[in-house]
Structure 1
Amino acid sequence: MTDKHQSRKKYQGEKNNKERTMGKLIAAVGKVLKEKGYPGLTIANISKEAGVDRKLIGLYFGNLDKLVETYIRGKDYWLSATMNAVEYFGNAPEVGSRGFLESLLLNQLEDFLSNTEMQKILAWQICEESVIMSEISQEREKMSALFFAFADKELQGKDLDLRAVVTILVAGIYYIVLHSVHTKSTVCEIDISTPEGMNRIKTSIKNILGWAYNSVEEPAG
């Protein structure tokens, strides 16, 4: 084997090892977060969970904050969903902003209910001051503006405060899921841990969006 081939093989091996180690560290953040909450996100805990030298966090990510940020960006439903929506908006789909919102909110409800790590992240976001979470939230707001710019054109001249409607729906999804998970109890006698309860909430989300959009539709002539 030539020196060139040996060099290439060594480089590829080092690259694969680095990627595997980075993957272990990112996964370890989620496991520590799930088991210990945000106070447990320390270099010692994460490196122990990943089974790697703690020095590799600094070598591969720069610092602990960057590692945690990398993990959160990969888990944040709204960030990934909004990024994927750019092409959707550009194609001006027939279902419009209402169809997109309905799909986004219903998927968020299901994903958030099943995603323990995201529940921990949101609790961290709203209970503790954090530079990382502040920056992520600000970025999410900028990306959400892509959707609202699209919706504004569609609803131009119509008296519908879509931002307020979506705010209430998003806040409701967050609250009912966290309440159900943390207290193991119902909200207004609805148990979203059951198929019947989940369907009632989904139906109401669709109805609320329908009422909002129908309130500004032109009456049939």
Structure 2
Amino acid sequence: MAKKTYNGAKNSKERSMQKLIEAVGCIIRTKGYTGLNALNIAKVAGLNRSLINLYFGSLDNLVEAYVRKKDYWVEASGNAGELMAENKTQDTRKILETLLINQLDYFSKEDEMQKIVLWQISERSKIMFEIAEEREKLGEAFFDMADPYFANTDVDLRAVAGLLVGGIYYMVLHAKSNDSLFCQIDVNSEDGLNRMKKAISEILTDTYQRAEKSKQHS
């Protein structure tokens, strides 16, 4: 009978790395990105801060590992890459609607992701820039699918999608930060979220219908 391979050191390293990554999330939730320093992370993880450089090379690399693992857009979209691959021949309006509504649901519930977006728009950083660029590539793949439908029309789907995404960010962040109404809508309530989802669906339906009418009159 073959002897089992000893993996104690490897498992210990992996557990420690996971603790450090989880500590980053804990600090973002409780202190925001301004609390991300080696001392705070090590204290929350219950580990020596020298392990940050040993296992990740630097504090920035550790934070990047966390952000990449917890990238809200990938989580919120329900894996957008697979969704688009499975629906190449279907209505891109429905794909975009699904992505945006999933994003709204996820973003409204995830405190960590709300803090990360605040970080992204408050302070320029190499980590956030690279993550944003990766999300742009995902968006590019979707628009490549949708472009044939909008060819030879005056409808700008990218601008519409940008306003919808920005509206989701701002309305959720405003509601969570101030616990107040926005345009007389309580975004923190189920009814408020449903009103936003309905508006997203109606705006996209109108956008695609305008493109169809534009093609008919060209």
Which residue does the alignment assign to 1:121?
A: 116
1: CA distance, partners of 2:151 / 2:51: 52
Correspondence list, 1:1-221, <5 A: 5=3, 8-9=5-6, 12-80=7-75, 84-217=79-212
1: CA distance, partners of 2:58 / 2:82: 34
Contact 2:78 2:102 in 1 (8 A): no
Contact 1:83 1:143 in 2 (8 A): no
Deviations 1:27-58 (A, max 9, x none): 10010111111110000100110111111111
* Corresponding residue SS for 1:179: helix
2: CA distance, partners of 1:139 / 1:62: 22
The alignment covers a number of residue pairs equal to 214
Contact 2:88 2:145 in 1 (8 A): no
2: CA distance, partners of 1:89 / 1:123: 28
2: CA distance, partners of 1:207 / 1:62: 48
Structure 2 CA distance for partners of 1:197 and 1:214, relative to 1, 3 Å: same
Bigger shift: residues 13-22 or 36-45: 13-22
* Corresponding residue SS for 2:212: coil
1: CA distance, partners of 2:165 / 2:210: 20
Bigger shift: residues 182-191 or 192-201: 192-201
Deviations 1:163-212 (A, max 9, x none): 00000000000000010011110001000111111111110011001110
Contact 1:112 1:119 in 2 (8 A): yes
Structure 2 CA distance for partners of 1:84 and 1:154, relative to 1, 3 Å: farther
Contact 2:77 2:99 in 1 (8 A): no
Instruction: Report the TM-score, using the length of structure 2 for normalisation.
Output: 0.90
1: CA distance, partners of 2:191 / 2:39: 43
Bigger shift: residues 194-203 or 165-174: 194-203
| Unaligned runs of at least 5 residues, structure 1 | none
AA in 1 matched with 2:92: S
Contact 1:82 1:147 in 2 (8 A): no
Bigger shift: residues 200-209 or 94-103: 94-103
* Corresponding residue SS for 1:215: helix
Percent identity over the alignment is: 49
2: CA distance, partners of 1:147 / 1:77: 17
Contact 2:107 2:114 in 1 (8 A): yes
* Corresponding residue SS for 1:216: helix
AA in 1 matched with 2:183: C
2: CA distance, partners of 1:158 / 1:170: 22
Deviation at residue 94 of structure 1 after TM alignment: 4.8
| Unaligned runs of at least 5 residues, structure 2 | none
Contact 1:191 1:197 in 2 (8 A): yes
